[in-house]
Amino acid sequence: MLSLVLSAELQGVTDLRPKDTAEEPYYYTFKVQCSSCRETHPNWVSFTRFDSREIPGSRGEANFVWKCKLCGRTHTANITAGPCTYVADNDGKTQKIIELECRGLEFTEFKPEGEWEAKGVESNTAFTSIDLTEGEWYDYDEKAGEEVSIKDVSWEIRNVK
């Protein structure tokens, strides 16, 4: 099991999470490596928690199915938990966003492409279309009359014991 973990400094916002619904799924984007031959796929790969693909030679399905070009093995991954929200109380600490069950592969890097959302701490103002690709985001909360931000964004992929 792997966890995608977020650490960030939130100012004036809380409940940061990917915009991830069945109608508008979030595409989680990773670099992937084969656990058998250690080959890393040259391109970023994306998948959603709502997609299911058949596993060749099996009756099962997975959110992500990948065949390593170097060793020819087929590997799978499923999002088993999340997405979880990052709350202002966690400021600067790490918080699990999703949990992944991986078979034969490892995700080595995450790219936060896609929309994120949060709400104002005191005003409950909904902030949508948050872009975290640059590692920071700034806006203004009209109701609270103050600048809001998300800074020092960092991602980590951890083994879950």
The beta-strand segments (E) located in 23-63 are: 28-34, 45-47, 53-54, 61-62
Tens of pLDDT along 111-153? 999 999 999 999 999 999 999 999 999 999 999 999 999 999 9
| Tens of pLDDT, residues 82-91 | 999 999 887 7
pLDDT at position 98, please? 97
Report the pLDDT value the prediction gives residue 59, as an integer from 0 to 100: 85
Write down the pLDDT at residue 90: 79
Q: What local confidence, expressed as pLDDT, does residue 88 receive?
A: 87
Cα gap 119→152, rounded to integer Å: 18
Number of CB atoms found within 10 A of residue 35's CB: 15
Q: Look at the chain and report how many structural domains it folds into.
A: 1
In the prediction, which pLDDT does 149 show?
97
DSSP 40: B
**Domain, as residue range, for 15:** 2-159
pLDDT of residue 58: 83
Listed in sequence order, the residues at least 6 apart from 42 whose beta carbon sits closer than 8 Å to its beta carbon are: none
pLDDT score for 57: 85
State what percent of residues in the chain have pLDDT above 70.
99
Q: How many CB atoms lie within 10 A of CB 112?
A: 21
pLDDT at 92 over 90: no
What DSSP string describes 76-145?
EEEEEE-PPPBPGGGTTSEEEEEEEEEESEEEEEEE--S-EEEEETTT--EEEEE--TTS-EEEEETTTT
Span 67-85, mean pLDDT?
95
